[in-house]
Structure 1
Amino acid sequence: MAVAFDAGASNKVSRDPILVGLWIALLVVALIWVAPFVFIIFTSLKTKAEVTSTGAFMPPVHLAFDNYSSAWNRGNFATAFLNSVVITVIKVPLGLGLSAMAAYALAKIKLPFSKLLLLLVVFGTMIPFQVMLAPIFTLVNSLGLIDTYPGVILPYIAFGVPYQVFILHGFFRGIPKELSEAALIDGASHFTIFRRIFLPVCLPVLAALLILDFVSTWNEFAMALVLLQDQHMWTLPLGLMSFQGQFSSDYGQLNAAIVMTVLPATIVYLIFQRYFVSGLTSGAVKG
């Protein structure tokens, strides 16, 4: 017993330097990631004179909260914020619902060529949307949907669904088939099984996908720039680009605009972050 105890203590001591090194590396990486956010927040609360007279990472002496109200009014962010909210609130739940139903059908319903269908869906994740901007613009323009909400929401859904189906398909495959078979024997339809059995079970995965989809939709720039040419239809990233072009020398208001743009996505992440790691891990490992 004494020998075993000494060996365990020796192993613990030998691992300590590695653990210390990992913690140091983690702290360094965290500082590198946090530093830009500290700079942006500090600068957003400084006056013009204070921005030039103090260091980048020095906290503001006098909190200039009026930078936020001035940037909001000068950049007309109210309209851009409303457009982003409408597009995101419609696109994210609709895309997740379609993805969940498609993933259930491919995983639990016997369909001819189901593997081929899944392969075609997954192939959609391999196509960068940048190379599709010109065909998408031509298609949306031919349908008369330029500068409209459907003209942006539909392409967003088309490029978001494949990845979500891939994650949810792996999760659904990991759920025992006896659950759905027993429900089918009792007379339940596939829609009832999906709604009452599979949907509650996959809520952590849906929460994780909701975070990813919300952030990517909220911050999407290139496709919105091509499909939304009317300034009154611009989303927040486009409004921020315009504001930066007009008031690039006013660093306080510019950084205040950046904070207001990223704040909603940050709040959504903080609300659902406890589901993030567990949800994606379940979808990626099971099946």
Structure 2
Amino acid sequence: MTALAPARAPSARATAGPPRRPDYLLIGLWIGLVVSCLIWLAPFVFMVLTSLKSTADINNSAIWSLPRQWQWHNYADAAERGDLWTVVKNSAYIALIKVPLGLFLSAAAAFAIARLRFRWHRGLLIVLTLGAMVPVQVALAPIFTMMSSLSLLDSTNGIILPYLAFGLPYQIFFLHGFFRSIPADLDEAARIDGAGNLRLFLTVILPLAKPALAALFILDFVATWNEYGIALVLLQDQTQATVPLALQAFQSQFGSNYAQLNAFIVMSILPVLIVYLMFQRFFTQGAIAGAVKG
């Protein structure tokens, strides 16, 4: 018997296939992402560098140059001059009450409109959505009159009420679209198990809405933290001022001290940055889901 010759293994060139062509679309997306990051980071880097320079460095060196001597005390001096800890406490108090309360109220209203069928539910949604189109500037005078009659001027508790009123319409519209995308079979299964509307809302709908609620939490926290118009009208007492009011006052009094002004700005945006970093993994998913309508 003649021995069979062993089969030859296929060459690497034969199994590798044709050479892959570069994905120019992916390369373009990465270039766009890098350019966008640089554009976003440039002002922040400029503020940080300026906040750590002396007045002589600012006047005699290039704007992107590193400080000759790092002036870390600018942050402590700016915080003391602008009473930063008081205004941060005021803004945090307002945001940490208004944002969760507003999200719960808007979620309850959106759940009722999207999942509980009743007469004129679409008309009610349209009326609520129209509230998001009312400019804040138009309502400043009526708000001032109403809050004055209620003795709620110069009160961090009082300013929460108009903040809630202007935030609810958009949040209800956003969550309505998300709730409509949740399969109705879940409602039927929960009701078969004996769940009422409240239990259905708290144990089924809200847990599924975490991504959308996290996205709204970021947007609403940033909007509340940076709100200026209503705060300017309703908060005349400096001890009740929020961060935007304190920043405007600091710029008016110490605007020529660019180092401390930039230090104050950097410290004022840190809480917003921390909140975003905490919830950013839910942000994209929630924003996309909230745009889907069933």
| DSSP-derived class of the 1:46 partner | coil
1:84-233 → structure 2 map (5 Å cutoff): 84-233=91-240
Q: Does 1:71 align with 2:115?
A: no
- Of 21, 36, 39, which aligns to 2:43? 36
* Alignment correspondent of 2:286: 279
The Cα of 1:22 is off from its aligned counterpart by: 4.1
The Cα of 1:29 is off from its aligned counterpart by: 3.0
| DSSP-derived class of the 2:291 partner | helix
For 2:190 and 2:212, how far apart are their aligned partners in 1? 23
Per-residue CA shift, 1:66-92, capped at 9, x if unaligned? 001101111112221111111111101
Give the greater-gyration-radius structure (CA). Answer: 2
For 1:20 and 1:26, how far apart are their aligned partners in 2? 10
TM-score, with normalisation over the residues of structure 1?
0.92
For 1:117 and 1:175, how far apart are their aligned partners in 2? 21
Identify the structure with the greater helix proportion. 1
The Cα of 1:64 is off from its aligned counterpart by: 1.1
| Unaligned residue ranges in structure 2 (runs of 5+) | 1-13
The Cα of 1:52 is off from its aligned counterpart by: 1.4
Per-residue CA shift, 1:92-112, capped at 9, x if unaligned? 100001011111111111221
The Cα of 1:58 is off from its aligned counterpart by: 1.4
1:40-51 → structure 2 map (5 Å cutoff): 40-51=47-58
Per-residue CA shift, 1:105-143, capped at 9, x if unaligned? 111112211001111111111112122111111111121
| DSSP-derived class of the 1:79 partner | helix
The Cα of 1:155 is off from its aligned counterpart by: 0.4
Q: Does 1:263 align with 2:273?
A: no
- Of 244, 249, 253, which aligns to 1:237? 244
| Unaligned residue ranges in structure 1 (runs of 5+) | none
For 2:42 and 2:283, how far apart are their aligned partners in 1? 24
| DSSP-derived class of the 2:158 partner | helix
The Cα of 1:195 is off from its aligned counterpart by: 0.6
Per-residue CA shift, 1:151-183, capped at 9, x if unaligned? 210100111111111111111111111111222
For 2:86 and 2:29, how far apart are their aligned partners in 1? 46
The Cα of 1:28 is off from its aligned counterpart by: 2.8
For 2:30 and 2:202, how far apart are their aligned partners in 1? 44
For 2:32 and 2:272, how far apart are their aligned partners in 1? 27
Q: Which one-letter code corresponds to 2:216 in the other structure?
A: L
For 2:46 and 2:116, how far apart are their aligned partners in 1? 52
The Cα of 1:185 is off from its aligned counterpart by: 3.0
* Alignment correspondent of 2:65: 58
Among all aligned residue pairs of Structure 1 and Structure 2, give the percentage whose two residues are the same amino acid: 53
* Alignment correspondent of 2:10: none
For 1:22 and 1:180, how far apart are their aligned partners in 2? 41
For 2:95 and 2:59, how far apart are their aligned partners in 1? 37
Report how many residues are paired: 279
For 1:81 and 1:28, how far apart are their aligned partners in 2? 33
